[in-house]
Amino acid sequence: MNNAVYQNSFVENSVQAQTSGNKEVWADSLGTHGNYWSDYSTKYPNATQIGLSGIENATYSIDSNNQDNNPLMTAAVSETTVPEMSTCAIVAILISGLRTVVALVFRKRSRVTSNS
């Protein structure tokens, strides 16, 4: 109850969000940033951006007790978002790292040998 839910991306869910009927807070502590809803433009086709804020002008209705007053125009980017990489890219990075380790080991061995 009264959880603050903001800067999330609700994307292509059959039910975007569901509550237990309690009123939640769908914005940050300043009440300025809500959440991204992938079905927003379908539900509110005539909505527009408020100035250059990145916030839509129509409130997103979640249920009879809950609404996002400041829905975001674009998906929120999580700090833990990791871009997808192909298997070839991962293998190339691993080979590069292995080459560096091998070069350092040989460099250290050659210093030990020359100092003996």
What would you report as the CA-atom Rg of the chain, rounded to the nearest whole angstrom? 25
Owning domain of residue 114: 83-116
Are 5 and 66 in contact by the 8 Å Cβ rule? The answer is no
111: tokens are 């210093």
Shared domain for 13 and 25, answered yes or no, is yes
* pLDDT value at 36 more than 80: yes
Count Cα atoms within 13 angstroms, Cβ side, for 62.
25
Count CB neighbours of 67 within 10 A: 15
For residue 83, the one-letter residue type is P
pLDDT, tens only, 64-91: 889 999 999 998 765 555 556 677 777 7
pLDDT value, residue 99: 86
Shared domain for 69 and 18, answered yes or no, is yes
Shared domain for 74 and 90, answered yes or no, is no
Shared domain for 40 and 73, answered yes or no, is yes
pLDDT, tens only, 42-70: 999 999 999 999 999 999 999 988 999 99
Residue 37 CA, distance from chain mean position: 13
